[in-house]
């Protein structure tokens, strides 16, 4: 066998093991069970769910080393390892706030008729000191539109990192609105913030999960975010035997 071909085959065989080791290295955090009736119904009926990851740069995958290291790509892989054969589409766009996401919600999300939407937002609004009232209104409108289209919705709050020091007050307020609207609309909130605080409490430094810019995840952070999301989804699903 040619040396180049042999090296390629060895690298392909090593990739799954390397990915498994990366996931196994995730620090401990409490399970966040996510109740998703439409997803559960699709699986009971033998339909493959469509999941859309909607958001800004954390969803698009800023600072991920490749597209397959973004959290949506790794979420699809993690769900399939757990027995949930779902397709996950990445509809993240870096730099966007709630107003910009609301403007493309119909075309980029609702038109695809997803079973589940994971909506990550709030950080850009806090950093830019935008109107909290406008954020609440846009968030309510967006969640209601997705629910009316028959989708489950998970809201995702902010990440931990050095950026918080200069924006702590507004970060708390924006995360509070996410929690408020989640309760009001009866949708689960996946708290990145709580998860990452728990990582830190067990001795994991922020730099182990956050890219050098102090804001976005690195590959390990995205992998562990995807694994925690998948575990929360799987926790409430009874798969057919």
Reported as type and span, the H/E element at residue 119 is strand 116-120
193 vs 162, more confident: 193
- Torsions phi, psi of 133, nearest 5? -65, -45
- pLDDT for 238 equals 86
Q: Is residue 221 part of a domain?
A: yes
Q: Is residue 147 part of a domain?
A: yes
Q: Is residue 186 part of a domain?
A: yes
Alpha-carbon distance of 37 to 19, in angstroms, equals: 30
Domain coverage including residue 105: 30-234
CA 168 from centre of chain: 21
Name the band, by pLDDT with cuts 50, 70 and 90, for residue 190. Answer: very high
CATH number of the domain at 48, please. Answer: 3.40.50.1110
The most distant pair of C-alpha atoms in the chain lies apart, rounded to whole Å, by: 65
Q: Is residue 108 part of a domain?
A: yes
Length of the chain equals: 241
Alpha-carbon distance of 71 to 165, in angstroms, equals: 25
- pLDDT for 119 equals 98
Number of domains forming the structure of the chain: 1
The reply to whether the predicted model has a pTM over 0.75 is yes
Q: Is residue 192 part of a domain?
A: yes
Tokens of 49: 């769910």
pLDDT tens, position by position, 23-78: 448 999 999 999 999 999 999 999 999 999 999 999 999 999 999 999 999 999 99
Q: Is residue 10 part of a domain?
A: no
């Amino acid at each position: 066998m040619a040396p180049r071909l042999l090296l390629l085959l060895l690298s392909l065989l090593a990739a799954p093991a390397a990915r498994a080791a990366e996931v196994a290295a995730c620090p401990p955090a409490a399970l966040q069970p996510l109740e998703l009736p439409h997803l559960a119904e699709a699986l009971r009926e033998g339909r493959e769910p469509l999941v859309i990851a909607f958001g800004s740069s954390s969803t698009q995958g800023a600072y991920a080393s490749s597209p397959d290291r973004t959290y949506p790509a790794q979420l699809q892989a993690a769900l399939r390892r757990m027995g949930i054969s779902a397709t996950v589409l990445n509809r993240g766009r870096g730099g966007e706030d709630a107003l910009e996401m609301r403007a493309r919600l119909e075309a980029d999300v609702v038109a695809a008729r997803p079973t589940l939407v994971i909506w990550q937002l709030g950080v850009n609004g806090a950093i830019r000191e935008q109107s909290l009232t406008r954020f609440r209104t846009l968030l309510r409108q967006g969640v209601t539109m997705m629910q009316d289209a028959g989708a489950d919705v998970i809201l995702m709050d902010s990440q931990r990192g050095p950026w918080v020091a200069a924006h702590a007050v507004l970060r708390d307020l924006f995360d509070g609105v996410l929690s408020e609207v989640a309760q009001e609309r009866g949708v689960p909130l996946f708290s990145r913030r709580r998860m990452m605080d728990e990582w830190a409490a067990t001795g994991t430094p922020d730099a182990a999960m956050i890219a050098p810019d102090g804001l976005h995840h690195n590959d390990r952070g995205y992998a562990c975010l995807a694994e925690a999301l998948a575990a929360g989804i799987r926790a409430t699903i009874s798969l057919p035997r």
